[in-house]
């Protein structure tokens, strides 16, 4: 019995030492970085004028289906401004009510999976965003963690069908661009 | 085959049905992400260079499903250092997991873990890997050495304790384990994992990527070796084993409405048995699944799979193989404003051949078992906060014909962070060849299957609460009362000699509580704990003929089980995970209570490279977990992982 206890005591001591010295800033989660990305996309995408919020109205970032972000997304949205307009986050259970969204992160749910939600949005001028860790169905922007960093694919032809323009600065960051 | 057909047994799964949709929606409430303020000021280019911890999407989900559901997510699996599926399942506080030998595990929920000397094996769980039932229909138990996946490929494991019979199938009596692997394109690149130590060595490799934006692929291979354990006194149990397996998965999205998955595995292995003999295992499977979104509210899933398993001992001690062909269809849609309907059906042929030995054989030794089911379930939103789910499944099996499996669940959500639920459900375990056709003999004793064997029946009453008062704190508790009837018993045939036959002369009840909680006091520290309390009372029915075998012949279960886990991020590159478990004694089996400790310390050397030191069962040199089981040794592994 002495053996393992000794080993354990050593591990415990090492842990304590590390905790004292450990900076409390662990690497952010991939979810936190995705939340930070979402409102920033607004600056690098152009919508048809009719699809932009009216003067004085906020820019709308929607999460359709389950919400992986929680308050992190609200905080991230609050920190960004697009053409003088603030960004608000709306959480929807289904595609119903998505008319007002400029950006929609689509996680889906068992009741309404991602593919279904993308189909439901049709060709509306909404920047659809999906996540490879959730499923293979891709929106215009599709997050993937590569090399320990959050990156994304961009489907430019789909963006064009939705009437959206994507800046070269955003395209340059994509892992892959579908023309 | 000695009793190897059954001694290697655990778990179960004969008649499942509609795997994928059944575990309703997980609402990932305010779970996950904390957004450190320092992200706010970064440019989009800087964001794309930030190194992230791949935290799970559901650090602690507040699930909307009115059932005792625990989710083991990818991150927990990686951080635990667990190498095999049974080791991973130790993470679920609502399962009881026992290691009887290096390759033989017994896993159950809410008790009934079996009793080997009475030829009783845990057989009331349904286990699925990506929609494919992982079972041996010969006795409705799981050979846990057959299914294997790269732990890093698992997206999550949904563990339901309690019946799930309406949507899932006749063997989802005491619980369902649904293992879901990641989409093929989710981690493009090369992944490699090598772990080794004194008792276990494993090496796995995966290559994944996208051929175009609609088609992604993954191929993997893995070798596993486990050293022999010790017999209870001292000396080797001579039961080391090894396996080699591989497989692939293709995910194809031909349109925005369609997702098609084709996946398959193949494996083989060899398990040493005391003396010079050994047992060969092998298997292969192929699964094709198609999901179609017909409209915004309407969804269709079709799935077909083929699965073959084989086990056989050297010499003439017996072997068997089972070929399973299965199709399932499921259709969900909304009806009006308040109704969400799911209906579906499935059919399965399990074709087996058993080459027995003179002292252990089946009569007949080969047969095609045809199983079919049809189910419907409606969820009615009575108000914003109150919904009722009612469903029924009709199942046909070759031994008793039709069984009806009804289920009613009420979910009350007074606030977004609180779910109160109640359920009444009925589930059965259908007869198997082991119940009907087995012939066993040792000098002076015979045991026969019973052609009039009935289904084992459960009516379950459950009451559950899930709350998430703070984003960093969640809690779940379920109280259950299980009423069992026609449980399998050993009966005595009239006449001279000890000639035994299976009967259905046990009934009784069990009740208890399952609870778990997760607390994240700091950004870099998560604590979680679980508790299970169980009381069982069984009695012989009036026609019982062999009460001397005892009322515990379906299982000798611990009265309690406690688990505690700590998960720390020590700076950007170091992770420390520690887990503790305390299991009550298995009284009638003479297994004392024990406590054990395990964990993993990992250092992310670079974006791609992680070194780890992990261990399990660290507190004792050896300990016994299960009746007739080996003494399980302490395990310490060194690991190297390369991630894309």
Write the DSSP string, B1-50.
-TTHHHHT-----S----HHHHS-PEE-TT-S----GGGTT--HHHHTT-
Task: Say if the Cβ atoms of A115 and B293 lie within 8 Å.
Answer: yes
The answer to whether B527 faces chain A, any CB pair under 8 Å, is no
Mutation for B interface: A33, A145, A152, most B CBs within 10 A: A33
Give yes or no for a contact between B519 and B488, defined as CB atoms under 8 angstroms apart: no
CATH number at residue A87: 3.40.50.2300
CA dihedral B521, B524, B525, B528 (to 10 degrees): 100
To which H or E segment does residue A76 belong?
helix A71-78
* Cβ neighbours of B178 (radius 10 Å): 24
d(CA B578, CA A12): 10
Q: Which of A1, A19, A79 sits opposite B570 (nearest CB)?
A: A19
Q: Is residue B14 scored above 70 in pLDDT?
A: no
Give yes or no for a contact between B513 and B522, defined as CB atoms under 8 angstroms apart: no
Low-confidence ranges of chain A (pLDDT < 50): 1-25
B-chain residue closest to A7, CA distance: B618
Q: Which two tokens stand for residue B304?
A: 């077909």
To which H or E segment does residue B433 belong?
helix B433-436
Q: Is residue B355 scored above 60 in pLDDT?
A: yes
Q: What are the distances in angstroms from CA B510 to CA A58, B108, B121, B396?
A: 57, 14, 18, 28
Task: Say if the Cβ atoms of A150 and B53 lie within 8 Å.
Answer: no
**Cβ under 8 Å to A: B residues 504-523:** 522-523
Q: State the SS3 of B50-108.
A: CECECCCCCCCCEECCCCEEEEEEHHHHHHHCCCCHHHHHCCCCCCEEEECCCCCEEEE
| Entry field: residues in chain A | 179
pLDDT of residue B16: 29
pLDDT tens, residue by residue, B77-114: 999 999 999 999 999 999 999 999 999 999 999 999 99
* Rounded mean pLDDT, B345-374: 93
pLDDT tens, residue by residue, B165-178: 677 766 889 999 99
The verdict on residue A97 lying in a domain is yes
The answer to whether B337 faces chain A, any CB pair under 8 Å, is no
pLDDT tens, residue by residue, B111-129: 999 988 888 889 999 999 9
Strands B386-397 and B401-415: antiparallel
B335 prior amide bond cis, ω within 30: no
Q: Which structural domain range is residue A35 located in?
A: 28-178
B297 contacts in A (CB within 8 Å)? 94, 112, 116
The answer to whether B45 faces chain A, any CB pair under 8 Å, is yes
The verdict on residue A5 lying in a domain is no
Strands A149-155 and B319-335: unpaired
pLDDT tens, residue by residue, B35-66: 345 777 788 888 887 776 544 333 333 456 78
Task: Please report which confidence band the pLDDT of residue B601 belongs to, taking 50, 70 and 90 as the band edges.
Answer: very high
Strands B525-540 and B456-470: unpaired
For chains A and B, count residue pairs whose Cβ atoms are closer than 8 Å: 237
The C-alpha of B222 sits at a distance from chain A's nearest C-alpha, in angstroms, of 23
Q: Which two tokens stand for residue B552?
A: 């515990």
Total domains in chain A come to 1
Task: Say if the Cβ atoms of B52 and A109 lie within 8 Å.
Answer: no
The verdict on residue A4 lying in a domain is no
Task: Say if the Cβ atoms of A31 and B32 lie within 8 Å.
Answer: yes
Give yes or no for a contact between B2 and B318, defined as CB atoms under 8 angstroms apart: yes
Q: Which of A29, A118, A153 sits opposite B52 (nearest CB)?
A: A29
Give yes or no for a contact between B105 and B122, defined as CB atoms under 8 angstroms apart: no
Give yes or no for a contact between B57 and A32, defined as CB atoms under 8 angstroms apart: no
Helix A71-78 and helix A30-40, axial crossing angle in degrees, nearest 10: 40
The verdict on residue A9 lying in a domain is no
The answer to whether B380 faces chain A, any CB pair under 8 Å, is no
The answer to whether B642 faces chain A, any CB pair under 8 Å, is no
pTM, full prediction: 0.78
DSSP B438-490: EEEEETTEEEE--TTPPPEEEEEEEEEEEEEEETTEEEEEEEEEEEEEEEEEE
First to last CA, chain A: 65
pLDDT of residue B316: 66
């Amino acid at each position: 019995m002495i053996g393992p206890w000794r080993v354990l005591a050593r591990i415990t001591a090492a842990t304590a030492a590390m905790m004292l010295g450990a900076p409390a800033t662990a690497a952010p989660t991939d979810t936190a970085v995705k939340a930070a990305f979402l409102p920033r996309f607004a600056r690098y995408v152009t919508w048809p004028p009719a699809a932009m919020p009216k003067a004085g109205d906020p820019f709308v970032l929607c999460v359709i289906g389950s919400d992986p972000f929680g308050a992190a997304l609200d905080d991230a949205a609050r920190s960004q401004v697009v053409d003088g307009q603030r960004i608000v986050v709306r959480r929807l259970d289904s595609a119903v009510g998505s008319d007002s969204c400029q950006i929609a992160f689509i996680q889906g749910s068992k009741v309404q999976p991602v593919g279904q939600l993308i189909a439901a949005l049709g060709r509306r001028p909404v920047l659809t965003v999906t996540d490879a860790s959730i499923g293979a169905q891709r929106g215009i922007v599709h997050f993937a963690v590569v090399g320990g960093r959050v990156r994304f694919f961009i489907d430019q032809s789909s963006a064009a069908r939705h009437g959206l323009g994507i800046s070269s600065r955003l395209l340059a960051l994509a892992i892959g661009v579908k023309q | 085959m000695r009793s190897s057909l059954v001694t290697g047994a655990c778990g179960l799964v004969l008649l499942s049905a509609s795997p994928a949709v059944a575990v309703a929606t997980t609402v990932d409430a305010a779970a996950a992400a904390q957004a450190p303020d320092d992200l706010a000021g970064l440019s989009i280019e800087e964001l794309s260079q930030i190194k992230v911890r791949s935290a799970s999407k559901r650090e602690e989900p507040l699930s909307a499903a009115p059932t005792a559901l625990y989710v083991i997510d990818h991150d927990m699996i990686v951080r635990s250092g667990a190498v095999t599926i049974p080791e991973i399942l130790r993470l679920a506080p609502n399962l009881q997991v026992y290691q009887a030998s290096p390759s033989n595990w017994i896993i159950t929920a809410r008790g009934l873990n079996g009793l080997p000397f009475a030829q009783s094996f845990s057989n009331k769980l349904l286990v699925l890997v990506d929609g494919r039932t992982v079972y041996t229909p010969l006795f409705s138990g799981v050979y846990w050495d057959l299914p294997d996946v790269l732990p890093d490929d698992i997206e999550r494991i949904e563990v339901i304790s309690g019946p799930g019979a309406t949507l899932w199938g006749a063997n989802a009596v005491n619980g369902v384990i649904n293992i879901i692997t990641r989409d093929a394109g989710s981690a493009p690149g090369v992944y490699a994992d090598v772990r080794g130590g004194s008792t276990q060595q494993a090496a796995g490799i995966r290559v994944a990527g996208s051929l175009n934006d609609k088609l992604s692929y993954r191929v993997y291979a893995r070798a596993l070796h486990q050293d022999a354990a010790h017999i209870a006194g001292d000396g080797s149990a001579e039961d080391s084993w090894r396996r080699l397996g591989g497989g692939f998965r293709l995910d194809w999205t031909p349109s925005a409405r369609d997702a098609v998955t084709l996946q398959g595995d193949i494996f083989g292995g060899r398990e040493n048995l005391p003396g010079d003999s050994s047992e060969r295992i092998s298997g292969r499977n192929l699964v094709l699944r198609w999901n179609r979104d017909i409209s915004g509210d309407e969804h269709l899933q079709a799935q077909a799979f083929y699965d073959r398993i084989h086990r056989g001992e050297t010499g003439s001690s017996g072997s068997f193989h089972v070929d399973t062909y299965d199709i399932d269809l499921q259709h969900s849609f909304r009806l009006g404003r308040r109704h969400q309907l799911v209906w579906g059906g499935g059919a399965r042929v399990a074709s087996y051949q058993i080459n027995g030995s003179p002292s252990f054989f089946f009569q007949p030794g080969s047969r095609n078992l045809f199983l079919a089911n049809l189910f419907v379930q409606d969820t009615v939103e009575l108000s914003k906060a109150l919904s009722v789910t009612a469903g029924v499944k009709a199942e046909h099996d070759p031994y008793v014909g039709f069984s009806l499996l009804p289920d009613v669940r009420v979910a009350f959500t007074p606030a977004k962070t609180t779910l109160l639920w109640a359920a009444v459900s009925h589930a059965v375990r259908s007869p198997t060849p082991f119940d009907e056709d087995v012939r066993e003999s040792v000098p002076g004793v015979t045991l026969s299957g019973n052609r009039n064997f009935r289904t084992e029946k459960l009516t379950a009453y459950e009451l559950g609460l899930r709350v998430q008062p703070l984003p960093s704190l969640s809690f779940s508790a379920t109280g259950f009362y299980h009423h069992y009837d026609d449980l399998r018993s050993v009966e005595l045939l009239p006449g001279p000699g000890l000639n035994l036959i299976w009967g259905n002369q046990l009934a009784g009840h069990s009740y208890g509580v399952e609870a778990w909680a997760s607390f994240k006091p700091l950004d870099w520290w998560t604590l979680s704990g679980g508790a299970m309390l169980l009381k069982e009372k069984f009695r012989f029915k009036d026609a019982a003929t062999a009460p001397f075998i005892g009322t515990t012949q379906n299982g000798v279960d611990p009265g309690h089980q406690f688990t505690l886990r700590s998960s720390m991020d020590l700076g950007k590159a170091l992770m420390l995970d520690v887990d503790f478990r305390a299991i009550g004694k298995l009284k009638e089996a003479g297994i004392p209570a024990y406590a054990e400790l395990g964990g993993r310390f990992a250092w992310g050397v670079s974006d791609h490279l992680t070194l780890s030191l992990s261990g399990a069962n660290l507190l004792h040199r050896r300990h016994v977990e299960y009746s007739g089981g080996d003494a399980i040794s302490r395990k310490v592994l060194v690991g190297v992982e390369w991630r894309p």
